[in-house]
């Protein structure tokens, strides 16, 4: 059996074991549901129009709620423009709502209706200048905004009538020429903020490397405990065995990321977020490359952490260094998300480059030559770590009596 065939056999075994692992299947399904829900549910919620019951007591309150009901219906039409008087007074972007009113006679206990939650809120008053909006613990935002907008519009109309202004004069006062807004660094409507996309990529890398890394270490120590590794090493060289483990788990890790990302894009497609799809696809190339290099760079060391242990209980101590090498760069990348010298420096350090160089590409502050240079640095580090990991793995994988230290494993290699 040549090297490529042996590595392929071991990698295939790792893949099949993973595909039958209930924990792996469960975590993948959970993340698929989480990503899909994160893209679809907010859109579905935003498309729902709330139905709200409001108690009304007083002539002015009745007029305000009637106009608020009309404004809530008009807001459901995306092509409907906000009345000029409301735009002038800062009431643009009115929320859609279906408001139904409950008339309360003068002297009626309107507060009891609110406390008993028969209505979501109550509007009370016979004068527009002294209207009160009552709520139990809070007032729905839609009612608060729409009633304020309606009261504003009614008071402006009342003041105009008392002043003897014609409709043309009112329009001239309430519809002045508005300033033009220009965005120097505009972002397409409906797209994801670049910072949020960076956090999503960093989180996926962190979870995948930590989960698969612990899985590799656990697999190695289980083979040692069951003596299966002795049969494997008798059939093929130790380095081929290590290479097969790394290749198999790398394929599964990349495959899981692609499937989860595909589920997110499918959810965005169903939700009609075309801009988001193009944005993620445009940023995913460098992320996948750095994910692959970063995962391979650490995978061999995770296998070494497992080979240094003689039983499952030892993994807490033998994998502590690897956990630090994953957790610290993750939080360093989070704290360095804002562009600056710190982010630039960390994007060239091998442990943080897989997180921060794709982030700089997404944020648009990386020169064209910088990602290839950072990738070359991570690749060179990965080669060194693979060679180092192979020697330590060879010196420790057959040692089953007690837990080894890295120096002992180094000395035991080649004997």
Per residue in 321-341, pLDDT (tens digit) is 888 888 888 888 888 777 788
Put the strands of the sheet holding 132-134 in their side by side order. 98-103, 51-57, 121-124, 132-134
What integer is the mean pLDDT of 365-369? 86
Query: Which of 252, 236, 233 has its CA nearest to residue 6?
Result: 236
Q: How much is the pTM? A: 0.63
Determine how many CB atoms are found less than 10 A away from the CB of residue 109: 11
75-89, 247-261, 303-317 — most confident range: 247-261
Q: Is residue 311 part of a domain?
A: yes
Q: Residues 55, 31: one domain?
A: no
Residue 180 is classified by DSSP as P
- Residues 35, 361: Cα–Cα separation, whole Å: 23
Q: Residues 235, 101: one domain?
A: no
- Residues 154, 162: Cα–Cα separation, whole Å: 12
Q: Is residue 197 part of a domain?
A: yes
Q: Across the strands, what pairs with 56?
A: 103, 123
Q: Residues 235, 352: one domain?
A: yes
pLDDT computed for residue 404 by the predictor: 67
pLDDT computed for residue 262 by the predictor: 78
Q: What is the mean pLDDT of the chain?
A: 79
- Whether pLDDT at 373 is above 90: yes
Q: Residues 35, 111: one domain?
A: no
Which SS3 state, helix, strand or coil, does residue 233 take? helix
Q: Residues 28, 58: one domain?
A: no
pLDDT computed for residue 190 by the predictor: 46
Q: Is residue 183 part of a domain?
A: no
- Residues 152, 86: Cα–Cα separation, whole Å: 7
- Residues 205, 108: Cα–Cα separation, whole Å: 61
Determine how many CB atoms are found less than 10 A away from the CB of residue 71: 25
What integer is the mean pLDDT of 392-411? 72
**Inter-CA distances, 280 with 77, 129, 194, 283, 353, Å:** 30, 51, 10, 5, 19
Q: Is residue 362 part of a domain?
A: yes
Residue 236 is classified by DSSP as S
- Residues 371, 375: Cα–Cα separation, whole Å: 6
**Inter-CA distances, 177 with 15, 166, 180, 181, Å:** 66, 19, 9, 12
Q: Would you state the structure tokens that stand for residue 313, as one six-digit string?
A: 């209980």
- Give the residue with greater pLDDT, 203 vs 100: 100
- Give the residue with greater pLDDT, 414 vs 62: 62
Query: Which of 274, 188, 242 has its CA nearest to residue 398?
Result: 242
pLDDT computed for residue 298 by the predictor: 87
- Give the residue with greater pLDDT, 143 vs 89: 143
Picking from 9-18, 30-39, 149-158, which range would have the lowest pLDDT averaged per residue?
A: 30-39
- Residues 131, 126: Cα–Cα separation, whole Å: 7
- Give the residue with greater pLDDT, 211 vs 410: 211
User: How remote is the C-alpha of 392 from its chain's centroid?
Assistant: 37
Q: What's the total number of domains in the chain?
A: 2
What integer is the mean pLDDT of 78-100? 63
Q: Between the CA atoms of 135, 140, 141 and 144, what dihedral angle is there, to the nearest 10 degrees?
A: -40
- Residues 351, 206: Cα–Cα separation, whole Å: 11
Please report where in the chains the tokens 């002038």 appear, as a residue.
Answer: 88
Residue pair 11/247 in contact (Cβ under 8 Å)? The answer is yes
pLDDT computed for residue 380 by the predictor: 93
Q: Is residue 338 part of a domain?
A: yes
Q: Residues 236, 110: one domain?
A: no
Percent of the chain with pLDDT strictly greater than 70: 78
Q: Residues 164, 273: one domain?
A: no
CATH of the domain at 122: 3.40.190.10
- Give the residue with greater pLDDT, 412 vs 311: 311
Q: Residues 359, 247: one domain?
A: yes
Picking from 131-135, 187-191, 269-273, 377-381, which range would have the lowest pLDDT averaged per residue?
A: 187-191
The residue from 115, 146, 174 where one domain ends is 174
Q: Residues 378, 332: one domain?
A: yes
Half-sphere exposure of 332 (CA within 13 A, CB side): 21
The residue from 174, 206, 222 where one domain ends is 174
Q: 119 is in which domain, residue-wise?
A: 48-174
Q: Is residue 181 part of a domain?
A: no
The residue from 143, 174, 205 where one domain ends is 174
- Give the residue with greater pLDDT, 1 vs 266: 266
Q: Residues 305, 361: one domain?
A: yes
- Give the residue with greater pLDDT, 251 vs 400: 251
**Inter-CA distances, 191 with 181, 197, 274, 275, 285, Å:** 19, 10, 8, 5, 18
Q: Residues 103, 25: one domain?
A: no
Q: Residues 254, 333: one domain?
A: yes
Residue pair 301/396 in contact (Cβ under 8 Å)? The answer is no
pLDDT computed for residue 271 by the predictor: 61
What integer is the mean pLDDT of 40-60? 76
Q: What's the burial of 136, exposed, middle or buried (CB within 10 Å: 0-12/13-18/19+)?
A: middle
Q: Is residue 22 part of a domain?
A: yes
- Residues 59, 128: Cα–Cα separation, whole Å: 9
Q: Is residue 198 part of a domain?
A: yes
- Give the residue with greater pLDDT, 318 vs 374: 374
Any idea how long the chain is? 415
- Residues 288, 398: Cα–Cα separation, whole Å: 34
Query: Which of 239, 355, 357, 369 has its CA nearest to residue 295?
Result: 355
- Whether pLDDT at 356 is above 80: yes
């Amino acid at each position: 059996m040549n090297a490529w065939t042996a590595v392929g056999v071991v990698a295939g075994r790792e893949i099949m074991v993973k595909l039958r692992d209930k924990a792996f299947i469960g975590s993948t399904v959970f993340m698929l549901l989480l990503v899909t829900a994160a893209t679809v549910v907010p859109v579905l919620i935003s498309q729902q129009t709330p139905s709200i019951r409001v108690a009304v007591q007083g002539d002015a309150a009745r007029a305000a709620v009637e106009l608020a009901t009309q404004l809530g219906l008009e807001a459901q039409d995306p092509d409907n423009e906000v009345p000029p008087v409301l735009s002038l007074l800062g009431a643009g972007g009115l929320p859609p709502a279906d408001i139904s009113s409950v008339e309360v006679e003068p002297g009626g206990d309107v507060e009891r209706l609110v406390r008993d939650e028969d209505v979501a809120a109550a509007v009370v008053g016979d004068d527009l200048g002294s209207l009160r909006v009552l709520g139990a613990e809070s007032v729905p935002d839609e009612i608060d905004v729409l009633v304020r907008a309606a009261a504003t519009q009614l008071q402006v109309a009342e003041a105009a009538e008392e002043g003897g202004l014609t409709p043309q004069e009112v329009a001239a006062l309430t519809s002045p020429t508005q300033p033009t807004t220009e965005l120097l660094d505009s972002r397409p409507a409906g797209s994801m903020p670049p910072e949020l996309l960076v956090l999503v990529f960093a989180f996926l890398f962190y979870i995948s490397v930590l989960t698969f890394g612990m899985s590799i270490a656990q697999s190695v120590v289980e083979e040692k405990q069951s003596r299966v590794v002795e049969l494997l090493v008798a059939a093929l060289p130790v380095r081929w065995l290590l290479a097969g483990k790394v290749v198999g788990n790398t394929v599964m890790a990349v495959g899981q990321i692609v499937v989860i990302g595909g589920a997110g894009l499918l959810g965005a497609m169903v939700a009609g977020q075309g801009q988001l799809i193009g944005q993620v696809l445009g940023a995913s190339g460098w992320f996948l490359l750095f994910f692959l290099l970063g995962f391979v760079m650490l995978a061999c060391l995770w296998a070494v952490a497992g080979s240094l242990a003689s039983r499952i209980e030892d993994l807490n101590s033998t994998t502590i260094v690897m956990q630090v090498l994953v957790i610290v760069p993750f939080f360093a990348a989070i704290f360095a998300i804002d562009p600056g010298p710190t982010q630039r420096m960390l994007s060239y350090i091998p442990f943080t480059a897989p997180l921060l160089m794709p982030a700089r590409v997404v944020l648009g502050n990386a020169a064209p030559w910088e990602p290839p240079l950072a990738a070359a640095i991570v690749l060179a580090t990965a080669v060194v770590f693979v060679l180092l990991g192979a020697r330590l793995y060879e010196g420790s994988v057959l040692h089953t009596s007690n837990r080894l230290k890295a120096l002992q494993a180094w000395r035991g290699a080649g004997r």
